[in-house]
Structure 1
């Protein structure tokens, strides 16, 4: 399935659940779709089955079961729309309307249920743990320099990455910073392990994690 291909699905779509799957994939791939319902009577189906070679015929019970389980498409169902219904004996197939539906019709945008899940890099969890641990250590060192007076502390995470954080004028304990670090990791760990449907690529770089953690600490550190 792709935007420059016309794909005709003519098998397994006799149940609405499968047609709904096609509908969801079409939305995810951002392609148009329509349903063409060719109506044939049960008598016609039994006649065609009887005319097939003996080794290719369905048994009576199997064919009756297929006819019983068949779920006709409905124009009221969003996954069957737009719906074009023609009878087996009808020579007047609405070809132009079908062509217009699949080339110029409304294209339904993907929603949160059909968006692809963006997975984090394999080293994202390690980077998350290491970056936050280093920042906690730097904050403890800088607090000693400020002698409990609080203020703007510089956090040289690397030669090219230097951050700043406003430390409250009180004694920050290691246990308090470790608790906030665990909370921060827990919040982001789920997105790493299960993926995310956020729009755009999620940045799991050291710089991005560091800026997010510093902002998280400044928001949650009590004066």
Structure 2
């Protein structure tokens, strides 16, 4: 349904804002005046997937931690769930990965940027239990490498920037996740329908049979050209409009080779699921007749 990515410095209050937002959205959903769908709200955090603070001490530990979080995110995407991602989310490339996964799953997205000063974050870190603290060098490194979200890029939009001492814009967030734009999947990640394994064989046989049927119909016609009626066994009746002259076998063979080549390319390049070609014998036959008419006329 929707994915809300929370970003900000470590110890900036992201988890507090995540719980605030969850409570506010749950109140909206429980309101008797809400006539919308029944939705669940889930806050996904490092703690839930057992990623410790020490995972950010070294890049060799941080990369598998981010990978584990991304896997958990995609697993929680659902048409009836509002997912709040309470993770580090400080790298723009990682937020882009989340955005692409959300587009592929067909859910709306928005970003919540929790703003706090570096000094405030360092102070809050020292006030935590020792098991929940970041090492001072790790905290400084994460703050230094933080890549601020921007409303100018599509993977951070719509962006809600929340200073540490201001209220959440719940109305605007609600509007973004309930009725905001739902971006379609990128073609690079769109799921394509696979063609049947015998599609190429059907393509060759059907177009070859039609070549012979058209030659036969032409030989029995009262005059060259016009509308030729052919019947593809067992009972597919087709009509082809050809020029007012005798069409040679070599012409028909050339058209057949071009037609097969175009559709073979679609098969080999993974484009078979696009368009309205369903690779059945009748559909291929009708496509071939249309291609023949366009080429010869």
Normalising by structure 1, we get a TM-score of: 0.77
Which moves more between the two structures, 177-186 or 15-24?
Answer: 15-24
8 A contact 1:12–1:18 mirrored in 2:
no
Q: How does 1:84-123 map to 2 (within 5 A)?
A: 84-88=160-164, 90=165, 92-104=167-179, 106-110=180-184, 113=187, 116-122=190-196, 123=198
The answer (yes or no) to whether the contact 1:23–1:33 under 8 Å persists in 2 is: yes
Would the aligned equivalents of 1:13 and 1:19 in 2 still touch at CA under 8 Å?
A: yes
Q: Deviations over 1:59-102 (max 9, x none)?
A: 72x554433332111223333222222244x3633334433332
Query: Which residue number corresponds to residue 7 of structure 1?
Result: 83
In structure 2, what is the equivalent of residue 161 of structure 1?
A: 236
Tell me how far apart the structure 2 counterparts of residues 24 and 197 of structure 1 sit (CA, whole Å): 21
- The corresponding residue for 1:20 is 96
- Once structures 1 and 2 are overlaid, which stretch shifts more, 116-125 or 180-189? 116-125
Does the 8 Å CA contact 2:240/2:289 hold for their aligned counterparts?
Answer: yes
- Secondary structure of the residue that 1:22 maps to in structure 2? helix
Q: What is the Cα deviation at residue 9 of structure 1?
A: 2.2
Verify: 1:79 aligned to 2:155, yes or no: yes
1:177 deviates by 1.5
SS in 1 for 2:79: coil
Q: Which of 193, 211, 214 is the matching residue for 2:286?
A: 211
Secondary structure of the residue that 2:285 maps to in structure 1?
helix
Aligned-pair distance for 1:196? 5.9
Separation in 1, partners of 2:126, 2:285: 68
Residue 11 (structure 2) aligns with: none
Match among 260, 263, 266 for residue 191 of structure 1: 266
8 A contact 2:194–2:273 mirrored in 1:
no
Q: 1:204 to 1:56 in 2, by over 3 A?
A: farther
Root-mean-square deviation over aligned CA pairs: 3.4
The CA distance in 2 between the partners of 1:173 and 1:49, in whole Å, is: 87
Q: Secondary structure at the match of 1:154?
A: strand
> Is 1:32–2:104 an aligned residue pair?
no
Runs (5+) with no aligned partner, structure 1: none
The 1:54–1:188 alpha-carbon spacing in structure 2 relative to 1, beyond 3 Å, is: same
Change (3 A) 1:160 1:49: farther
1:8 partner SS: strand
SS in 2 for 1:33: strand
Q: Secondary structure at the match of 1:7?
A: strand
Aligned length: 218
1:177 aligns with 2:252: yes
Give yes or no for contact 2:231–2:238 (8 Å, CA) kept in 1: yes
Distance 2:97 2:272 in 1: 21
